[in-house]
Amino acid sequence: MGLPIDDEIITLIDRALEEDLAGGVDVTTVATIDEKSEGFANFIVKAEGVIAGLDVAEAVMKRCGVTTFTRKVEEGSTVKAGTIVATAQGSLRAILLAERTSLNLISRMSGIATLAKRWVDAVSGTGVKIRDTRKTTPGLRTLEKFAVRTGGGINHRSSLSESALLKDNHIAAAGSIAEAFRSIRTKFPSIAVEVEVDTLDQLEEALEAGAKVILLDNMDLVMTKKAVEINAGRAKLESSGGITLENARAYAETGVDFLAIGALTHSAPILDISLEVLSPLSINDSERSKGSQ
């Protein structure tokens, strides 16, 4: 399981590096470290969690000119505090230039993967899937949705053009669920459509309109159970709103198919990861050391 490093991600990395440099240079590193100095650095996890973003961390290092990036664990591994998950070797200036951007991204992605796994574990055995939302950090959606998958969750739509989700504002503007659903089917006949409902009456209307995926918005457990009975397997049901890690299993056991959890991306704390430099050597010292062997 890996994340292809495409032009979109390279552009994101370049913007992050430029944000750090602001058109100048890393004045601290340039002033204190000789341009010929080489070194090793370890990525060390400070708390237990799921690792996501090794591909991105490597891409940052390579973008800055670091010659070697070695993974010590696989993407998606659950690791303990103190685990070295990767090492970097090469120009010490390049390693330190890449340090903050690589850590920002891998820590953010690993935090999301770690939280996603907690939710997946909470509903284990029920058959319910944990699904994310578009409540992502602007510009980081591809990375954050990959992190959700790495933690065992699944992705909802990534863009407004990918599928249709009829929410309360669309329904109000169109006049009814039936009319809004009909309009989408007329203009975009092949697009997948999900309908958000707040009441059991709306659920009935969505089913009559032909909806195959229905989002139960902010329904409590009693209403959710009733919605599952009314649905009787005709559509896939997704619960959203008011769901916590503590009550997730209870919602899952009602018989819905998905739990939509915006917190996977908008509220995930980072996984604390540090970069520690070891044994910096100048190129000349390294060559002399090889010659004496």
Burial class (CB in 10 A: 0-12, 13-18, 19+), 226: middle
For position 213, what pLDDT does the model report?
98
Confidence band, pLDDT 50/70/90 cuts, at residue 290? very low
For position 110, what pLDDT does the model report?
98
Q: What is the pLDDT of residues 45-99, one digit of tens each?
A: 999 999 999 999 999 999 999 999 999 999 999 999 999 999 999 999 999 999 9
Q: Catalytic: 135?
A: yes
Length of the chain equals: 293
For each of the domains in the chain, give its residue range(s) and CATH number, in order of start: 7-119+269-291 (3.90.1170.20), 123-266 (3.20.20.70)
Q: What is the pLDDT of residues 210-221, one digit of tens each?
A: 999 999 999 999
Residues sharing a CB contact under 8 Å with residue 251, sequence separation 6 or more, in sequence order: 128, 221, 224, 239, 243, 259
Q: Which of 272, 268, 271 is nearest to 115 (CA)?
A: 268
For a pLDDT cut of 70, what percent of the chain falls above it? 95
Count of beta carbons in the 10 Å neighbourhood of residue 255: 17
Out of 36, 71, 72, 100, pick the active-site residue: 100
Angle at CA of residue 266, ends 264 and 272, nearest 5°: 75
d(CA 66, CA 78): 26
Out of 196, 205, 238, 257, pick the active-site residue: 196
For position 43, what pLDDT does the model report?
98
d(CA 212, CA 185): 13
For position 293, what pLDDT does the model report?
40
Q: Which of 244, 275, 273 is nearest to 115 (CA)?
A: 244
Residues sharing a CB contact under 8 Å with residue 202, sequence separation 6 or more, in sequence order: 177
Q: Catalytic: 100?
A: yes
Mean pLDDT of the chain: 94
Q: Which of 242, 231, 237 is nearest to 205 (CA)?
A: 231
Q: Catalytic: 167?
A: yes
Query: pTM for the complete prediction?
Result: 0.93
Confidence band, pLDDT 50/70/90 cuts, at residue 2? confident
Q: Catalytic: 93?
A: no
- Helix, strand or coil, per DSSP, at residue 229: helix
Would the CA dihedral through 104, 105, 110, 115 be positive or negative?
positive
The residue written with tokens 């999301």 in the block is: 112
Residue 112 near residue 242 (C-beta atoms within 8 A): no
Out of 194, 205, 217, 257, pick the active-site residue: 217
Confidence band, pLDDT 50/70/90 cuts, at residue 278? confident
DSSP conformational letter for 35: T
Out of 167, 182, 226, 236, pick the active-site residue: 167
Helices (H), the chain: 7-21, 27-32, 54-64, 92-122, 141-150, 168-174, 177-187, 200-209, 221-231, 248-252, 263-266, 283-291
Out of 71, 118, 135, 182, pick the active-site residue: 135
Confidence band, pLDDT 50/70/90 cuts, at residue 1? low
Q: Catalytic: 196?
A: yes
Q: Which of 17, 9, 12 is nearest to 64 (CA)?
A: 17
Residue 107 near residue 273 (C-beta atoms within 8 A): yes
